[in-house]
Amino acid sequence: MIQIACTFVVDATGALLLQLRDDKAPYHPNVWGLPGGSVEEGETPAEASVRELWEEASISPSSPVRLFARQELPSESRVKNYFYAPTDATQADVVLGEGAAMLFIPAAEALARPFTPGTAEILDRFLASPEYAALRR
């Protein structure tokens, strides 16, 4: 199974950083997902989530990432590790490094989008969680 690490990044308003995958994405083009990608050899999933966030958006979390959920997707031959963290970054700080767009989306609008497999289910759980509530300032 391929290990994937992705991150729910929450800004000061409670908005989430979401990525619109472009038409060149090898998996699930033209749908929304979270910043993230494959865990590289010698790297932990948490390290991968921070690296991918930097590579894809040029921002960092303002505190260490914490694991929210682990999701096995046998049909995709993947295990997705979902981390979460706050950020002091704003949309003006985001530098698109991958995909068609990388936007902070208000939580109330987030689920109205087509997502990569498994993401909408975990996103719905995250938005209802005490972990998300604690990140809203």
Ordered structural domains, the chain, with CATH? 2-136 (3.90.79.10)
Pairing outcome for strands 2-10 and 78-86: parallel
- pLDDT tens-digit readout, 123-135: 999 999 999 999 9
Mean pLDDT across 13-27: 91
* Statement: residue 1 has pLDDT above 80: yes
Sign of the Cα torsion 39, 48, 120, 71 reads positive
Q: Report the pLDDT value the prediction gives residue 127, as an integer from 0 to 100.
A: 97
The model's pLDDT over 53-111, given as tens digits with 9 standing for 90+, comes to 999 999 999 999 999 999 998 988 989 999 999 999 999 999 999 999 999 999 999 99
Q: Which of 30, 109, 33 minimizes the C-alpha distance to 71? A: 33
